[in-house]
Structure 1
Amino acid sequence: MTDTARILVINPNSSELVTAAIDQEVEHFRALSPVRIDVRGTPGAPPGVSYQRDADDIAPMVRRIVSENEADAYVIACFSDPGLLGARETFPGKIILGCGENAILQALTEADQFGIISLSILSTYRQRRKIRMMGLADRYVGSQGIASNAVEATSPELLDRMLEAGQTLVARGADIVLTGCASMSHFREPLEERLGVRVIDPVGSAVSAAIGRIILKQGQRRGPVR
């Protein structure tokens, strides 16, 4: 792998606290991979994606960030994946991953049924809609909210609420649980230990997938067969 390979992780909200939490999470991947991983926020965006209109407003900002920042892969670090489809359409040659979509696809390869811990009832609505659009309703036991927001979810004090939500999903039949916000990454290990099932952090899932896609792309650049 070349020394110049780079992933840009985009926090599509304006919260510096959430950006810092994401940056801290990807530090583990920096230690394991030669790929450069940078994290940036989105000044001028809402502080979180609380409503569908927030995701709609953020979408052109995400496209602008991709257009202005050269990287080998881009990760949109929000479970709602704002701007993902438009960015892929605008930049068809680029590797662009949404952490929500990627975490869901990973869950399908590891378990039969999955559930999502969401921030709020509004997040639950968006997640249900995403699952229907992906055609995966029969593998989805539901989302369980914790009545919080992206900034509050950076606090370890929410662990009890996270655990209660995860237990509800497991009781419904979830073999694997997804944390439904990029700022929930720090809960993955304690949740996995206490729930007794695999827990997927969407940021780590998408970053590791981006590293793999970069390796795949470079590995396919072969010269003529001799």
Structure 2
Amino acid sequence: MSILQGKIHSTLGPSTASIRILLINPNSTQLFTEELVPVLSKSIPSNVKIDFVTAPSAAPRSIDNSEDGRLSTSVCEEYLDVHNEGGREILQSYSSVIIACFSQHPLVDSFRKAGQGVKGRKAITIGILDAGVYSALALGGKLGIATTGEQWESLFDTAIETMGITKSRYAGTKGTGFDAISLHGEGPTSALLEASVNLVGRGAAVIVLGCGGMSAMREGLENSLNEKTQSWIPVIDGVQAAVDMAIGYARMGVSPTLQS
């Protein structure tokens, strides 16, 4: 029996698709995962299939700090049998595995390490922080990250530094004061716009959404931000960026090395 039997609660695309992506929400709030389905359904090609998995109830409802990330990783490793047969099965069944948490989530490295023992073609593991930031850099100018709690500001500063990105390309991170659970409503929407305007004032030429739960807010924020600033400021969602990156890698036919 497949390790994912009964764990996939949503799927986009045909079973015959040549490009297969597993998207893992490493927190236990299934609503976050479900909200990604209509967002991604607008843009995926007909030869792409995405399976969605949500972490079980033992994982945090929202990942709000590094400790939540470590707990989430431990729960997901056991749930998906990452370092044993289950992990090998996943890595050989999919083109890419996406970890849909905007942080330096340890589950990304966990899957990459699991892949070191898999010979031949295997899934590329992509974190949405990396995907969002690299996509923003390709647009030129400085990027700014608009996120949830203010505690992420220093954590993302460190993450950007460890990625080798200098302050000449990074305007900083601004928290809204809301956590991922309370993103919906007029208050969070206004706070996200205010944070983005603040970052533009610091020189940001592109805004990256610093939470996977913000995916459905991307288009509305971009429209409001451009109206507010009277300029063109693109907004990048790391989840959509990761999916597009995964599709691109699959089309190129690349696979991570044994030393990934």
Q: Secondary structure at the match of 1:20?
A: helix
Q: Secondary structure at the match of 1:209?
A: helix
Report which stretch shifted further, 195-204 or 62-71.
62-71
Instruction: Give the gaps of 5 or more residues in structure 1.
Output: 219-226
- TM-score, length-normalised on structure 1? 0.88
- Return the alpha-carbon distance in structure 2 between the equivalents of residues 206 and 61 of structure 1: 23
Instruction: Give the gaps of 5 or more residues in structure 2.
Output: 1-15, 117-121, 227-232, 255-260
Q: For the Cα contact (< 8 Å) 1:62–1:87, is it kept in 2?
A: no
Shift of 1:94: 2.3
State how 1:89-100 maps to structure 2 within 5 Å.
89-92=113-116, 93-100=122-129
Shift of 1:29: 3.0
User: Which residue in 2 is equivalent to 1:39?
Assistant: 52
Shift of 1:81: 4.0
Correspondence 1:210 to 2:246: yes
- Return the alpha-carbon distance in structure 2 between the equivalents of residues 47 and 163 of structure 1: 25
- TM-score, length-normalised on structure 2? 0.77
User: Which residue in 2 is equivalent to 1:51?
Assistant: 65
Report which stretch shifted further, 199-208 or 57-66.
57-66
- Return the alpha-carbon distance in structure 2 between the equivalents of residues 188 and 198 of structure 1: 9
Change (3 A) 1:130 1:33: farther
User: Which residue in 2 is equivalent to 1:151?
Assistant: 181
Measured on the aligned residues, the alpha-carbon RMSD in Å equals: 2.0
- Return the alpha-carbon distance in structure 2 between the equivalents of residues 170 and 213 of structure 1: 32
User: Which residue in 2 is equivalent to 1:19?
Assistant: 33
Correspondence 1:112 to 2:112: no
User: 2:218 is aligned with what amino acid?
Assistant: R
% identical equivalent positions: 31
Correspondence 1:7 to 2:21: yes
Q: Secondary structure at the match of 2:204?
A: coil
Q: Secondary structure at the match of 2:248?
A: helix
Shift of 1:4: 4.2
Correspondence 1:84 to 2:108: yes
- Return the alpha-carbon distance in structure 2 between the equivalents of residues 23 and 155 of structure 1: 20
The number of residue pairs the alignment matches comes to 217
Shift of 1:62: 4.2
Q: Secondary structure at the match of 2:146?
A: strand
